[in-house]
Chains A and B, each alone.
Chain A
Amino acid sequence: MAADLETIEKVRSIDVGEYKYGFVSDIESELAPKGLNEGIVRYISAKKNEPEWMTQWRLEAYRRWLTMVEPNWARVEHDAIDYQDLHYYSAPKKSPGPKSLDEVDPELLRTYAKLGIPLREQEVLAGVERPRVAVDAVFDSVSVATTFKAELAKVGVIFCPISEAVHTHPELVKKYLGSVVPVTDNFFATLNSAVFSDGSFVYIPPGVRCPMELSTYFRINEQKTGQFERTLIIADKGSYVSYLEGCTAPKRDENQLHAAVVELIAHDDAEIKYSTVQNWYQGDANGKGGICRFVTTRGDCRGAQSRISWTQVETGSAITWKYPSCILRGDGSRGEFYSIAISNGRQQVDSGTKMVHLGKNTTSRIISKGISAGHSQNTYRGLVSAHRKASGARNFTNCDSLLIGENCGAHTVPYMEAGNPSAQFEHEATTSKISDDQLFYCQARGLDAEEATALIVNGFVRDVLQQLPMEFAVEAQKLIAISLEGSVG
């Protein structure tokens, strides 16, 4: 209840049409020369002081990438990306590897303060009501600070930049990196494998319930920089972790490329809850600029009775190409996908999920809420498949689309492949419009048009918002209201 009102409050207090995170931080960066070749791949690897096996892994990916073509099946249109016109590495100069926050460029800390990210542990610890969230902050290509490391280490949880894990836990990285999203998986994932710069690494030991939310904030600052982060989360037997990523970027006239890879591995009886609140810059009213993201996110329910749950609130970016998926390998494993995808202005969203049932008695659940406004296009693309040995596979899918205005589009593209006769797949889909009568009804009770829209939209997405960790649900709700500003009237 309070959250709805909070949303409305927020709509009132924020300047309409302004992307709040559009500032650029004046930080000296170390930039790789533009372009991509074996030399750049080696440069990145050398910058990270990586062992030879890691360099070779990257090079293999790069060589593979040269043989691949960019996929074009998604319902998105954009200018051809010139992969030679991008920087593949950018780091704030004082980094990499500050030992403590005192070594971090104060300008950078100010940037994070503007973003509302609690980097300073003591701040978080001091506030009685503030959520306890461990944060890993990634600025352009480099992880700049990870909080609460010591406390997490006490229970054996490893939470650090992946560039660090390569050195401190090579056995884990070697074993799991690329085991869910293979180097050869797809054009963008392969590119990421060659040039990924940083990201978060999480390992939860057997039987441990991670004592706090883990969170990563990604920020693209430098011009003409691609961001290629790589996240790897392993939940060992019987463990639990909840993880959240948040993303923002400055306003730039040109498109910025973002090609991330996220890999999750859940062993027997383990559970991973992965939430995303994404608000990259979406471009201006004419569709100029904005982040183009081609993201491969996949979870492997490797163990019996394991569980992976994706929740995403996608409001930003010019183009979103993202399908958080679950491979339900372990018997009795469960995959979930809860999504709110909002498109406004000239945004193009092509997002959904894949639930691949391989083990026996596996279950999956998909709840997708797409909201289109302005001149945007919003596509849900999903695949539910059951292998012939996946007896007793069950899926429930619900895809709802809400249209605001006359010039936007909503599309639903569900694929189903039942290879086993005992599979039970259910699919429900609706498309609706916020009716003028609904708006008038709310207005006749005292709400203005924007408040009324925010209220109706929040009602529409309620099922999904409830899946977010409490402290982020409020943030997400604000974001939803902000991203729909100017869509009515």
Chain B
Amino acid sequence: MLKINNLHAEIDGKKILNGLTLEVRAGEVAAIMGPNGSGKSTLSYIIAGRPGYEVTAGEVLLNGQNLLEMEPNARAAAGVFLAFQYPLEIPGVATMTFLKAAMNAQARQRGEAESTTPDFIKKVRGAAKDLKIDQEMLKRPLNVGFSGGEKKRMEILQMALLAPKFAILDETDSGLDIDALRIVADGVNALRNRERGFLVITHYQRLLDYIRPDSVHVMARGEIVRSGGPTLALELEKSGYAAYSDEAA
């Protein structure tokens, strides 16, 4: 499904990724853990296409298609979704409006029919209910004045509606209390199926108690330094990242 080969990237001349290689299969939930500054968020941004990074070598393939050659919106239409660590506020644009604009933009790019308004509203209401998002919130401008937890749930709502082929969750657990974490994790788990791949980026093992990964990868200094099964996360929880940090903790 997603193949990253020997990816090198830098920002403002500073090297962040140093030959990262990773494969996530269809239906797999891969977790990436690592110390701060190891390049985890950069990896998610480069997959989604955020401007400002220079990829100096390597490739990122989604089902054989080279994402690095595509505009961010084309990557989204091809099935890439990034749940942001810090979701952006869009003042004056009602959440419903934003969701419809996004869904229709993707449908158009794929040459599919746009969903009718009643269908759309039904879908949104259903998904919002599952995530315990108040219907009133859907009328408010996207993310404006939302709490940290509300923003993260809104990201998962977008993911549910856009139904991506491959989803990246960038530190989705940060800033969440235990109840919000459970709601978000349930939302993600509900979307797991045999076709969809996930890349779950987190600093803490806690999230992985709720979203059970199939594989765990440790990232340090811009590359994957160790890979293993779910037990690797538990081991990290005990030993910490000291062994992988530049500075010994």
Residue numbers of A with Cβ under 8 A of B are 1-2, 4-5, 8, 435-438, 440-449, 451, 455-456, 458-463
Q: Collect the chain A residues with CB atoms within 8 Å of residue B76's CB.
A: 443-446
* Known interface pairs A435-B88, A443-B72, A444-B81; 7 further A-B residue pairs with C-beta atoms within 8 A, sorted by A's residue number: A436-B52, A445-B73, A445-B102, A446-B76, A455-B98, A458-B93, A459-B92
Query: B106 at the A/B interface (Cβ < 8 Å)?
Result: yes
Interface of chain A: mostly helix, strand, loop or mixed = helix
CA distance A442 to B93 in the complex (A): 12
Q: Mark B129-162, 1 if CB is under 8 A from A, else 0.
A: 0000000000001000000000000000010001
Known: A440-B51, A448-B71. A462 touches B101 (CB 8 A): no
Q: Collect the chain A residues with CB atoms within 8 Å of residue B90's CB.
A: 438, 441-442, 455-456, 459
**Residue of B89, B92, B103 touching A460 (CB-CB under 8 A):** B92
Query: B189 at the A/B interface (Cβ < 8 Å)?
Result: no
Query: B105 at the A/B interface (Cβ < 8 Å)?
Result: yes
Known: A443-B73, A456-B93, A459-B93. A8 touches B105 (CB 8 A): yes
Q: Collect the chain B residues with CB atoms within 8 Å of residue A8's CB.
A: 101, 104-105
Query: B94 at the A/B interface (Cβ < 8 Å)?
Result: yes
Q: Collect the chain B residues with CB atoms within 8 Å of residue A435's CB.
A: 88
Top 4 nearest A-B pairs (CB, nearest first) are A459-B92, A459-B93, A446-B106, A445-B102
Q: Do B92 and A446 touch (CB < 8 A)?
A: no
CA distance A177 to B82 in the complex (A): 62
Query: B87 at the A/B interface (Cβ < 8 Å)?
Result: yes
Query: B36 at the A/B interface (Cβ < 8 Å)?
Result: no
- The count of residues in chain B whose C-beta lies closer than 8 Å to any C-beta of chain A is 37
Q: Do A445 and B158 touch (CB < 8 A)?
A: yes
**Residue of A1, A446, A458, A459 touching B77 (CB-CB under 8 A):** A446
CA distance A463 to B106 in the complex (A): 28
Query: B46 at the A/B interface (Cβ < 8 Å)?
Result: no
Q: Do A446 and B109 touch (CB < 8 A)?
A: yes
CA distance A443 to B51 in the complex (A): 11
Residue with the greatest number of chain B CB neighbours at <10 A, chosen from A446, A455, A459, A463: A446
Residue with the greatest number of chain A CB neighbours at <10 A, chosen from B84, B90, B103, B117: B90
Q: Collect the chain B residues with CB atoms within 8 Å of residue A448's CB.
A: 71, 73, 105
Q: Do A1 and B71 touch (CB < 8 A)?
A: no
CA distance A437 to B84 in the complex (A): 11
Q: Do A441 and B87 touch (CB < 8 A)?
A: yes
Q: Collect the chain B residues with CB atoms within 8 Å of residue A446's CB.
A: 73, 76-77, 102-103, 105-106, 109, 162
Q: Do B93 and A443 touch (CB < 8 A)?
A: no
CA distance A56 to B142 in the complex (A): 60
CA distance A1 to B50 in the complex (A): 27
Known: A438-B90, A444-B82. A451 touches B105 (CB 8 A): yes
Q: Do A460 and B87 touch (CB < 8 A)?
A: no
Q: Collect the chain B residues with CB atoms within 8 Å of residue A438's CB.
A: 88-90
Known: A4-B93, A460-B91. A440 touches B72 (CB 8 A): yes
Q: What's the nearest-Cβ distance from chain A to residue B112, in Å?
A: 12
Q: Collect the chain A residues with CB atoms within 8 Å of residue B141's CB.
A: 459
CA distance A436 to B205 in the complex (A): 32
Q: Do B72 and A444 touch (CB < 8 A)?
A: yes
B120 to chain A: closest residue by CB: A1
CA distance A313 to B157 in the complex (A): 35
Q: Collect the chain A residues with CB atoms within 8 Å of residue B39's CB.
A: none
Of the A-B pairs whose beta carbons lie under 8 Å apart in the complex, a sample of 12, sorted by A's number, is: A1-B96, A4-B93, A4-B97, A8-B101, A440-B50, A440-B72, A442-B98, A443-B71, A446-B103, A446-B106, A446-B109, A447-B73
A2 to chain B: closest residue by CB: B117
Q: Collect the chain B residues with CB atoms within 8 Å of residue A4's CB.
A: 93, 97, 101
CA distance A461 to B92 in the complex (A): 8
B106 to chain A: closest residue by CB: A446
Q: Do A462 and B92 touch (CB < 8 A)?
A: yes
CA distance A463 to B98 in the complex (A): 17
Query: B32 at the A/B interface (Cβ < 8 Å)?
Result: no
Known: A444-B49, A444-B82, A447-B101. A455 touches B72 (CB 8 A): no
Known: A441-B84, A446-B76, A459-B90. A1 touches B158 (CB 8 A): no
CA distance A435 to B51 in the complex (A): 12
Q: Do B93 and A445 touch (CB < 8 A)?
A: no
Query: B16 at the A/B interface (Cβ < 8 Å)?
Result: no
